[in-house]
Amino acid sequence: MVALAESGADGMVITDLPKKIPGLDACAACVAAKSVHLLHKEGRNRAEAYLDRVHIDIAGPMPKKSAGGKEYEYIIVDDYSRAVYTRPLRLKSGAPEAFKKFKAAAENESQKRMREVMTDNARKLSTGEMRQFCEQEGIKLHTSVRYSPESNGVAERTIGVLTIQVFYG
């Protein structure tokens, strides 16, 4: 195994590893094998005001339906305040309507206009009715790279916190 790690294996991309990493008792190949993805940094600054940028996503299906038969959770996180808005959904197709309700309530309450929406590439959040609504309202709709949840990290972290509460709360 050590010889394999030192000589490299076919198809591996790990290169230029030192023989020993200072402060660690493991060899460099062991450390690399146990490592996780580096933090995803896009160089994006935090929003400067409430509703300048919101992050949206859908969690679910949850392991158990709610009393009302809803098994998805629609999540909106304001980038400036990190305030979280959630709405239970019966189907994912209810996401555009939930967004419209949130937008109307948030803008009415704050007297500010929503400027940007960040979402992953989920069809219900980035195409069709949602995209058309954002275009009509003058909201920039930004989508992340497919199968890259770290690109929408604010919403994904919020989902992680909320779903832990569902499972262990």
Length of the chain: 169
First and final CA of the chain: distance in angstroms?
43
Two structure tokens written together for 59:
């969690």
Contact status, residue 62 vs residue 166, Cβ threshold 8 Å: yes
Between these two residues, 156 and 77, which has the higher pLDDT value?
Answer: 77
**Phi, psi at residue 94, to the nearest 5°?**
-80, 0
Task: Identify how many contiguous H helices and E strands the chain contains and give both numbers.
Answer: 6, 5
Q: What is the pLDDT of residues 87-131, one digit of tens each?
A: 999 999 999 999 999 999 999 999 999 999 998 877 777 788 999
| Cα 124 to Cα 16: distance, rounded to the nearest angstrom | 44
For 14-63, the pLDDT digits (tens) are 566 566 656 656 666 666 666 655 555 555 688 999 999 999 998 888 88
> What's the one-letter identity of residue 86?
T
The CATH class of 53-168 is alpha beta
Q: State if pTM tops 0.75.
A: no
Q: What is the pLDDT of residue 1?
A: 45
What are the extents of the domains in the chain?
2-34, 53-168
